[in-house]
């Protein structure tokens, strides 16, 4: 009987081992399926995210196009037959204003380009532009005027007349004293 009990005990043990191996194999298989499903869900989420990003790109506002429309004064996609409001029936006034604005922008940009330059660079530009070199700031101003005249087809004298600005040179000599200094309103010398 001891042999039969031993034999029965060995069979029961073997069945338990087989059962545990089957359970372990099923658990491993379930884990693999869960990992595979998780990976598929991640891929699906990534695809949905990419599609959403592409959709947002296509439906987003094109700010560059809108800005160019404002700059160019041309009707854009939101124009839809609207008439542009003007203060005058004649657009010559707006064209003149736009030309003046263009000149001002041109002058400012040239001033900004010339501002950091030193004497040697300004002298080279003066030779290239055909402008006589004077003190540094005056030479830079003359270069800007020459470029403005060449770009907009007007003479330097015309430019100064249009701006209503005359250039008056003031000497650095302070020895000349005004004759009316120290006099009262009625022309008499003030005594202190």
Averaged pLDDT, groups of 10, the chain, 192 residues long: 86 95 96 96 93 72 74 60 58 65 82 87 88 87 86 64 50 51 58 52
Q: How far apart are CA 170 and CA 189, in angstroms?
A: 28
Q: How far apart are CA 150 and CA 142, in angstroms?
A: 12
Encoded tokens for 2: 């001891």
Alpha helices in the chain (DSSP H): 2-59, 63-72, 92-114, 119-129, 136-152, 156-163
Are 8 and 53 in a shared domain? yes
User: Among the three residues 14, 40, 75, which one is the final residue of a domain in this structure?
Assistant: 75
83 is a domain residue = no
Are 11 and 62 in a shared domain? yes
Q: What is the structure's pLDDT at 10?
A: 92
Confidence (pTM): 0.35
Contact 156, 149 (CB under 8 A): yes
Structural domains counted in the chain: 2
2 is a domain residue = yes
Domain interval for residue 120: 92-163
Q: What is the structure's pLDDT at 60?
A: 58
Phi, psi of 59 (to 5 degrees): -95, -5
Residue 153, Ramachandran bin (φ over 0: left; ψ between -120 and 50: alpha; else beta): left
Encoded tokens for 94: 């707006």
Are 98 and 53 in a shared domain? no
Q: What is the structure's pLDDT at 41?
A: 95
Q: What is the structure's pLDDT at 188?
A: 63
Q: What is the structure's pLDDT at 167?
A: 46
Encoded tokens for 154: 């007007």
Are 71 and 96 in a shared domain? no
Q: What is the structure's pLDDT at 132?
A: 87
Are 100 and 152 in a shared domain? yes
């Amino acid at each position: 009987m001891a042999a039969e009990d031993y034999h029965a005990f060995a069979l029961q043990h073997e069945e338990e081992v087989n059962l545990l191996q089957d359970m372990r194999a099923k658990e491993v298989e379930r884990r693999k399926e869960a990992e595979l499903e998780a990976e598929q869900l991640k891929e699906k989420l990534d695809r949905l995210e990419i599609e959403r990003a592409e959709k947002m790109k296509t439906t987003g506002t094109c700010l560059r196009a809108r800005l160019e429309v404002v700059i160019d004064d041309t009707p854009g996609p939101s124009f839809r037959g609207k008439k542009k409001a003007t203060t005058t029936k004649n657009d010559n006034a707006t064209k003149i204003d736009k030309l003046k604005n263009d000149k001002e922008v041109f002058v400012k940009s040239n001033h900004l380009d010339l501002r950091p330059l030193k004497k040697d660079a300004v002298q080279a530009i003066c030779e290239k532009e055909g402008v006589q070199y004077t003190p540094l700031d005056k030479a830079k101003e003359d270069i800007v005027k020459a470029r403005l005249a060449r770009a907009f087809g007007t003479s330097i004298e015309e430019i100064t007349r249009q701006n209503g600005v005359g250039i008056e040179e003031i000497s650095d000599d302070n020895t000349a004293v005004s004759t009316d200094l120290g006099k009262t309103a009625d022309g008499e010398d003030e005594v202190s």
